[in-house]
Chain A
């Protein structure tokens, strides 16, 4: 497979302030005064009234105009006024934050990832609606990358996992709940309220109001208010329509956790005004801490990919997400294991399974123990013990099924390895779970 020249692509995506040039150089190198002056002149008009300068008078020049304006402000008070009026800290503040550079060092991020981008990753769309300054674009990329790396790690190592269990494994590795925990374990702190004057080392998001807080001091709790149905919520979900979703529907129509996608790109293409509406709603209502941390970690993943390349992104994923502990055998929940097992044996051409008692003790006592093995012909598929014959038989069948589904090849090469300069090797594709 031909290696893609990623940095060439990403250069046009990134804003000029966050180009992947060397991190160390950026801190030491100051452009000569003349070039600075020229750039200021070439961007948005600079006036000494904050309200005018902060209006968006041209998408491309907004970042520069704020920066330029900020640096040209003569007094400390004026600077503070400007900072308090913008929704998130300007990129130039990133180098002044000890908290941010400590976070950069703590996560052992590649030096090619500049502090400005790390600061941008920490700005949630609920804090700053402008996609030039928030992490929304980076988090879309990061979401896809996390999905790719996790799904190949799960599926190549356990090629026989049933679909539902695979979804659960994906959720356990990179679901929102796990990512919120990861963010906490990284020592990322959340700003009380977002704003330009806030230290850029904080996670900036607008939090939803707590359910038990009172509305305008009236004593009525927020959760007691009637829910106002909004038009922009979109189609009713499958659950609302009274449908139970099968694994196939989840695979085709869901995201990689098997959850239903509320808003697809198709919806946005049909009604472009929806995107702005959704963003506006987020800005007004706020987001939960879980959603904000999810956006942050995804954006960070995307930022590492853009600035430092595929290898660095994969190493980061391996170090922080894949290295976490997950016991796959505890993800299963069988309803009728004996039936599943006999279907599996029929499909694979084994003899139909028979349960036999291997040993027992205290049949007539208060605490009997039976050890039952389940056999296909002369081969023992599984074994289980229980205090009744049925319990032991079910446990034996569960053991046999887990033994089949949790098969893992000894040496695995994941497909994305070929992209990082390795040799592509085909991986085992299994028939999947039994259909009952």
Chain B
């Protein structure tokens, strides 16, 4: 039988061609009465929000009241997860910073990279996988290895 093929799918590399921003929606919730929403209400009335929205047309922005609670910003992501930040008693500039934080997030859980594998890559190593049967011949002179490796 001649050569056969295996069907697989290609894998995405976001940013190599097009870059898809992972945050797809931001919900702003405010309260008219509570003092903790003061900064949020100023933010919603200030030009900061229209400017942010105009700079990021790929993010839907929803604003709705949530009476008798602290104000929150909720980010919804392409992977289906969501991230919520409570912005009680924050000033409008601080709220903008939180918006930017939500915009830049991927929506994944925050994980600490463990072990040595901090960098993940789809490409092969340029040097190849090390194996003991190729490369320099090892000779031992007086307990020191000379000419080891490739």
Contacts and interface: CB of A to CB of B under 8 A. Distances in A.
Interface of A: 98-99, 101-102, 104-108, 162, 164-165, 167-168, 171-173, 175, 177-178, 181-182, 184-187, 247, 318-320, 322-327, 330-336, 340, 359, 361, 369, 371, 385, 401, 405, 433-436
B118 interface: no
Contacts of A335: 1-4
Contact of A106 (B9, B58, B131): B58
A175 B9 CA distance: 8
A56 to B, nearest CB: 35
Contacts of B3: 162, 164-165, 332-335, 340, 401, 405, 433
Contacts of A333: 3-6
In this complex, the interface size class of chain B, counting residues with CB under 8 Å from chain A, is 20 to 34
Contact of A371 (B14, B78, B133): B133
B9 A181 contact: yes
Contacts of A182: 12
A336 B2 CA distance: 8
A324 B13 contact: yes
Interface in B4-33: 4-14, 16-18, 20-21, 24-25
A319 B6 CA distance: 25
Contacts of A385: 131, 133
A178 B9 contact: yes
A134 to B, nearest CB: 25
A325 B2 contact: no
A390 B9 CA distance: 31
B2 A323 contact: no
A168 B7 contact: yes
B68 to A, nearest CB: 27
A371 B24 CA distance: 53
B111 to A, nearest CB: 20
Given A164-B2, A333-B3, 13 more contacts: A102-B59, A164-B5, A178-B9, A178-B10, A181-B12, A185-B12, A187-B24, A247-B2, A325-B16, A325-B122, A332-B3, A371-B133, A405-B3
